[in-house]
Structure 1
Amino acid sequence: MIAQRLLAAGPDPDARLFTGPRGGRITTAVLRDATHWDAVVSSLGHEKLRRHSLRHTGLTWMADAGVPLHVLRLIAGHGSLLTTQRYLHPDLRAIVAAGRSLSAHLAGAPGPSDPLAATLRVL
């Protein structure tokens, strides 16, 4: 399907692979209607779930999988890394793992008699 769309687009690098019903951009309203979003989330009991939340979830999952932030920025089409960072929501497991990592690091931290530790404290 994508190969057919690419061939149909011709040499225009800005041609859209997929278009809305009138040939233009695919709007959120078109997606809502095509997916029956409101009915689906209502039937699941998640009326407050927004389609945009899925964008946050997807980017967060990719970040959790190790996709670098600068790549996530490109995927999302954001102009800045700061915008992309606002989309990322670490889950509780990631936060607990960060705390364990800090605890392990502090448990092995050099004592006050360590000359390197003394130098680092001065800096």
Structure 2
Amino acid sequence: MLLDRIQARKDKPDARLFVGPRGGKIQTGVLRKATHWDAVVAALGYEHLRRHDLRHTGLTWFADAGVPIHRLQQIAGHTDPRITQRYLHPDIVALQADGDMLSAHLRSPKRSQIGPKLRLVQ
């Protein structure tokens, strides 16, 4: 369905993929009703989940995939990159893996040949 909508709008890159019942922007009440949001999240045990939380998740996934912040800003429609930054929630496991990579790099034999050795500063 999504590919059909994209294909139908290829000559209109700014056209909405999905529109409300009157052809305009989809209002939140219409979306909530059409998706049976309240019943779905209750059945899943996520009553606390808001649709806006999915925006945070989606932008975080884009960032984790390597999409640069200036494009995330465009995707989100934000005017300020600091707003976009607030939507990003790094994965603690990925952050720990980044720290492990740095540690491995600093301990590598090649590192000792190309740069200064680590030293304790008191």
Q: Which amino acid aligns with 2:64?
A: D
Residues 42-81 of structure 1 deviation map (CA, whole Å, 9 limit, x = unaligned):
0111100110010100110111011111111101111111
Residues 9-28 of structure 1 deviation map (CA, whole Å, 9 limit, x = unaligned):
x98x8765543223332111
Go from structure 1 to structure 2 and tell me whether the alpha carbon gap of 1:64 and 1:20 turns closer, same or farther (over 3 Å shift): same
Q: Which residue of 1 aligns with 2:60?
A: 60
In structure 1, C-alpha distance between the alignment counterparts of 2:20 and 2:84, rounded to whole Å: 26
Gaps of 5+ in 2: none
Tell me which structure has the larger Cα radius of gyration. 1
TM-score computed with the length of structure 1 as normaliser: 0.73
SS at match of 2:49: coil
Q: Which residue of 1 aligns with 2:117?
A: 111
Deviation at 1:105, TM superposition (A): 4.5
Q: Which residue of 2 aligns with 1:97?
A: 97
Q: Which amino acid aligns with 1:21?
A: P
TM-score computed with the length of structure 2 as normaliser: 0.73
In structure 1, C-alpha distance between the alignment counterparts of 2:17 and 2:57, rounded to whole Å: 24
Q: Which residue of 2 aligns with 1:34?
A: 34
Moved over 3 A (4+): 13-18, 104-109
Go from structure 1 to structure 2 and tell me whether the alpha carbon gap of 1:16 and 1:64 turns closer, same or farther (over 3 Å shift): closer
In structure 2, C-alpha distance between the alignment counterparts of 1:55 and 1:43, rounded to whole Å: 21
The count of residues paired between Structure 1 and Structure 2 equals: 109
Go from structure 1 to structure 2 and tell me whether the alpha carbon gap of 1:112 and 1:69 turns closer, same or farther (over 3 Å shift): closer
Go from structure 1 to structure 2 and tell me whether the alpha carbon gap of 1:42 and 1:98 turns closer, same or farther (over 3 Å shift): same
